[in-house]
Amino acid sequence: ETGVTQTPRHLVMGMTNKKSLKCEQHLGHNAMYWYKQSAKKPLELMFVYNFKEQTENNSVPSRFSPECPNSSHLFLHLHTLQPEDSALYLCASSQLGTSPTNEQFFGPGTRLTVL
């Protein structure tokens, strides 16, 4: 579990707040992902970064803004969220290119509650 770390582990915010989630991977991978996990729904892929370039944005509302300053760090900036955005946000990384399997390594997640 220490291969991918996420902070904070828990976050409670009001709808007018601005906050950021942080993810760091210590595995030397070149791709990083943000997922949203809500109760009774499949894991939803939000963003993919491959070599620091965003390659996927699965119709995520603009109130979620990702940032990938380097291949080890990934942020998710949050502003004017809605209560339905409350969920577990998971970060993952993988090594693309040399490994064709896309096995992903997950962080422990940030439990977000929007009041």
Partner 1 sequence: SQQGEEDPQALSIQEGENATMNCSYKTSINNLQWYRQNSGRGLVHLILIRSNEREKHSGRLRVTLDTSKKSSSLLITASRAADTASYFCATDASSGAGSYQLTFGKGTKLSVIP
Residues in touch with partner 1 (CB under 8 A): 1, 4, 6, 31, 40-43, 45, 48, 50, 55-56, 88, 90, 92, 94, 96, 100-109, 111
- Closest to partner 1 by CB, 41 vs 83, is 41
Least separation, in Å, of the C-beta of 108 and partner 1? 5
Q: Of the candidates 50, 32, 101, which has an alpha carbon nearest to the alpha carbon of residue 21?
A: 32
Which residues, 6 or more positions from 98, have their beta carbon under 8 angstroms from its beta carbon? none
Q: Tell me the closest approach of the beta carbon of residue 109 to partner 1, in angstroms.
A: 5
The CA distance from 115 to 53, in Å, is 32
Radius of gyration of the chain (CA): 13
> Of 22 and 111, which has the nearer Cβ to partner 1?
111
- Closer to partner 1 by Cβ: residue 75 or 106: 106
The minimum distance between CB 80 and partner 1, in angstroms, equals: 26
Which is nearest to 74 in space by CA: 33, 104, 102? 33
